[in-house]
Each structure stands twice: as C-alpha cells, then as structure tokens.
Amino acid sequence: MGNPQRRTFHVHSEIIGQGGSTFRKNRTVLLCLGLLNVVLLIAAVVIGFNCAKVREGPFHVSHPAVTQVLDELNYLRSNHSDVIEAEEAAKNAFERAVKNHAQLKEKIEQQKTINDNYQKQMEELQKEQTNLQSNMTALEGNCGRCLSGWALHNSSCYYFSSIEPSTVTKNWHDSRADCIRRGADLIVIDNEEEQRFVSGSIGDMRGTQDILRNSFWIGLTDTETEGTWVWINNVTEVERRYWMDGEPNNSHHHGEDCATAVYSPSNPWKTRNDINCNMYQRHWICEMTSS
C-alpha cells in the first residue's frame, strides 16, 4: 500500500500545485481586464475629444461628397450674416424709396397746382394784354386829335360831362358857357350816324333809370321863334323823327325852349325832349373839331 505520510504529502503537493496554477490564471485574467479598462478609457477620452471638436468646429471627413457638402454648409454659415445684413439694407432702401415716392408725388401735386395758377394768371394777363392793345389802338387813333377825356368820332371830339361827379349839373346857358370855356360849343347833331353815336354813348353813361333826369343839353333852341328849332350854328332843324313822341310840346307854357338828348331803349332815333332852359339842371355834351 505504500507509506501513508508520503501519499498525504503527495496529495497536498498536487493541491498546492493546482492552487498555484489557478492563481496564476486568475492573475492573468485580472491583468487582461485591467488592460482592457485602460484601452476603453483611452477610447472614451479620444471619442470625447473628437465630439468636442465636432461641436466646436467643422468635422473633417475623408469622403469627397461629404466634404463638399460640409464646405458649402460652412460657406453658407459664413455668409448668413451677410445675407441678413443685405436683406435689412434692402428693406431700408425700399422703405426710403416708398417715402421718397410719396414726397415726390406730393411735390408733383403742388407743382401742378402752381402750374394751374400760372396758367390762369397767363390767361388773365393775355386778356389784359388784349385790352391794353385795344386801348392803345384807340389811344393811338385819338392821340393828338382830341383832348384827354374827350371821345373821337369821325372828325369831331365830344365831351360828355357825366364824367364829372354826378352832382355837377348845369342849366342850358351855363352848360354852353362851359363848352365855350373848353374851346368848343354844345353839340350839333346833323346826321344819322352822329345821332346813333350820341344815343349809344348816353345809354352807356346813364346813371339812373329816369331817362328824362338822365338827359344831356344839346345846342338846339327855339328861343327866337316859338316852334322853330335852330341849332347854335344857325341851322334850322326840320327833321321831326328825332323827337320823342308828343315832343316838343312847350308843356304848360313854361317856356320849354331848350332841347335835351335822352336815351331811348325802344327807339334810338326818338331821343330829343324840350324843357325849360333855366329851371332844370342837366349834364351836357360839348363838340369841337378834332385837330
């Protein structure tokens, strides 16, 4: 059977040998695990570092297509602020353009109003110019031929005293004296054209609707012989159609010996009336030959 002690020792030796072998194996495993942890820690650090780089800046990829896309993205990012600034500048420019357009439109309306006013003023000035030219033509025709305030008709100059203040009226004798003082005499109407001129002039100058009170002394009387009317140039008046209807009538035998000319709207030929030479105050018409 052998020695029991030796067998026991041998068994213990085997056990110890097996334990040592197991310990060596475990130590190897632990060492490998430690190295693996170190590798994993290093990998984690590297991955974290790369992630931080990706967040902080562009991540470089070796694939050409991806690299081109990233480059374009970076370009757009870098130009994004420029685009925003350009958009803001364009918006401001548009707003200024709209404001300028409104101001320009307002100025155009103001200028249109000014032009319209100028046009009206020009039209008024043209009318005034036409009137001045007409007046100048009349003055040129009258210039040097009649005194100021006298009207030229054919070869005679006429003074209508109605241009004096309306209160200035005289009797027949004083009226004639005034004409003589002016180098003329009371008017002598000796043709139809002159009759028409006198009638129209009195119509333009009449100051009241009372045609008898608005009459003018003329140089015609019958003081020498009642009913025989003679002009101051000693020409006897034989034409009866120029007298108003029913005139001359020497009304109520008041000595109506002097003739006046009145305005007759119905008949420009019937313009003469006889009244008292001294009792009535009237305007008068003077006549003189033009120079």
> Residue 237 CB: number of other CB atoms within 10 A?
19
Tens of pLDDT, residues 172-198: 999 999 999 999 999 999 898 999 899
Strand 283-289 to 216-221 pairing: parallel
Picking from 289, 287, 288, the residue whose alpha carbon sits closest to that of residue 216 is: 287
- pLDDT < 50 regions, the chain: 1-2, 4-5, 8-13, 15-16, 58-61
Q: What is the mean pLDDT of the chain?
A: 79
> Which CATH number applies to 151-289: 2.120.10.70, 3.10.310.10, 1.10.1040.10, 3.10.100.10?
3.10.100.10
Cα dihedral across residues 281, 188, 222, 175: positive or negative: positive
Domain map (residue ranges) of the chain = 151-289
User: Burial letters for 4-21: b for 16+ Cβ neighbours within 10 Å, e otherwise?
Assistant: eeeeeeeeeeeeeeeeee
pLDDT value for 56? 55
pLDDT value for 143? 56
Per the confidence metrics, is the pTM higher than 0.75?
no
Q: How far apart are CA 55 and CA 50, in angstroms?
A: 9
pLDDT value for 16? 46
- CA-CA-CA-CA torsion for 103, 109, 112, 116, nearest 10 degrees? -140
Tens of pLDDT, residues 93-152: 899 999 999 999 999 999 999 998 888 888 888 888 877 776 565 555 555 689 988 999
